[in-house]
Amino acid sequence: MVTTTTGKRLMQARERVGRTPEVQAQWLLDFALRDLRRPGGLRRPRDWQRLCEQVLVFARGADKVMRIEVPSLEEVVAAHDHLWVQILSQLRQGQDAELELSKPAPVVLVFRNGVVTDSPTTDGLTLADAFLLRTRATLTAVTAGGRRRLRFCAKPTCGRPFLARRKDAAACSAACSITVRTNRWRAANRERVARAAQRRRRRIGPRS
């Protein structure tokens, strides 16, 4: 069901989504990591309303005048699923992610400070198509110039996407980083690890 919102709430959604590519990319990854299909994933109807408003702001553009109607829960969940299936899961496996739009999207050339960039317009597009285009624009902007900002956690049981703030960052959190560093050290020192394991077994002795 489509609900309505107010200009004040849309302004609050703009602040949460952000106006710069880096802030928007962080919001996008946070959105991707939400488990929307888990019962109780968003506890209150108000939380769903806020998330729908943020998805609308991201998809249509944070600085544009937007309609008062916000997307339905089904549209938001579909955008979330497309983000994982069509984009992030493919990129995590090292594969190209092909965006499937319901119709061709026009592209606008933007000229700022002597630099020309292409910006897709979301006017007349479905929310799903607009969301995919904004995702493309956000991820390409945050990784422009060969910056390896978008990464996936190297911990085998994690694999979460994150924005790297250091060149050597390989994990999404401090806890995962400890595991990754430990695994790498053990892989580089297999013989040393094996000898240590043998010494421990000798100290403990045979099991009765």
Question: Which amino acid, one-letter code, is at 8?
Answer: K
Sign of the Cα torsion 69, 72, 78, 80 reads positive
d(CA 3, CA 23): 27
Distance in angstroms (rounded) separating the CA atoms of residues 204 and 197 = 11
Query: Is 176 part of a structural domain of the chain?
Result: no
Taking the C-alpha atoms of residue 128 and residue 82, their distance in angstroms, rounded to an integer, is 8
- Residue 102 belongs to some domain of the structure: yes
Residues of the chain whose pLDDT is less than 70? Answer: 1-5, 38-43, 62-68, 193, 205-208
pLDDT of residue 40: 59
The predicted structure's pLDDT at residue 65: 46
Q: Is residue 110 part of a domain?
A: yes
Task: Tell me if 166 is assigned to some domain.
Answer: no
Q: Are 139 and 99 in contact (CB under 8 A)?
A: no
**Is 160 part of a structural domain of the chain?**
no
Beta-carbon contacts of 177 under 8 Å, excluding residues fewer than 6 positions away, are: 170, 171
- Greatest C-alpha distance within the chain: 78
List pLDDT tens digits, range 28-49. 999 999 888 765 556 677 888 8
Whether residue 17 is contained in a domain is answered as yes
Instruction: Report the 10 Å Cβ neighbour count for 84.
Output: 14
Residue 25: per-residue pLDDT? 94
| Pairing mode of beta strands 150-152, 115-120 | unpaired
Residues in the chain: 208
Q: How many domains does the chain have?
A: 1
Whether pTM > 0.75 for this model: the answer is yes
Kindly report, residue by residue over 156-182, the tens digit of the pLDDT.
999 999 999 888 899 999 999 999 988
Tell whether 9 is covered by a domain: yes
Residue 197 lies in a domain: no
Look at residue 131 in the predicted model and tell me its pLDDT: 92
Range of the domain at 137: 3-151
